A and B are shown apart, each in its own frame.
Chain A
C-alpha cells in the first residue's frame, strides 16, 4: 500500500515562494503509468487540482496556476515537489499530494497524504 507524506513550511510571507515536498513510500514514483498530484483546499472550501508529474517526468498544470507553478521530482529520494511563486492570502490552504492512475484510470485518486496547512501571512 503506497503512502504519501507532505512536508514543508507552514507559514509563507506574501510575494514569496511556497515550497512543499511529498515523500512516497511503498511504491516508486517512476512506476509505469501513475500520476503524482498536488491538490489543495482553501479553508472551508472545496478541492482544487493544482497539477501533476507523470511517472515519465512530464508535468501538467492547472491553467489558472500555471504561470506561478513548478512541479519536479527526485527519483533517488522517491519524492516530488511543488513550488508556487508570488503567493497571496488566496493561496492559504491545506495542500495534499495524491496518486492517480494507472494510465487509463484517470481521476482515480486512491492514495492521499494527510495534508499540510500552509498559511500566507506577513
Chain B
C-alpha cells in the first residue's frame, strides 16, 4: 500500500481537462511544499512534470499544472491530447525519518 493515495484511473476526451488527486497526511504533503508529479509510459522511465507543487521544468507543456490544498495535491492537465495517455505518479518529501513517499499511480485514458 502506497503512502500517498491516488485514484487508480481517470479518463477524459481530447480537449477536455482532468485533475488527478494525491492525498497524503500532515507528515508529508500537508507539511511541505515539496510535491512532484511524474509521467510514465509503459516500459519507460518516469519523467518529471511538476516539482515544488506548482513549478514546471523547462520543456514541459503549460497544459500541465499543479496545486495543493491541505493534505491533498493535484495535477491538472488541460487540453487533453492522445499523447497524455500514461501513468502519473505523485511524490512528496516526508521529513528526515521517512524522506520520500510516492503515490500508487493513476492511469490516464484519453477516450
Binding site for B on A (CB under 8 A): 37, 45-49, 52, 60, 62-63, 96, 105-110, 112-115
Q: Is B64 an interface residue (CB 8 A)?
A: no
Contact (Cβ within 8 A) B45 A107: no
Known contacts A46-B104, A46-B105; decide if A110 and B48 are in contact (CB<8 Å).
yes
Interface-side segment among B12-20, B76-84, B85-93: B85-93
Out of A37, A49, A106, A113, name the residue touching B45 (CB < 8 Å).
A113
Interface centre among B2, B100, B102 (most CB of A within 10 A): B100
Contact (Cβ within 8 A) B97 A63: yes
Out of A60, A62, A105, A107, name the residue touching B92 (CB < 8 Å).
A107
Question: Residues of B contacting A108 with CB < 8 Å?
Answer: 36, 48, 51-52
Contact (Cβ within 8 A) A109 B36: yes
Nearest residue, chain A, Cβ from B51: A108
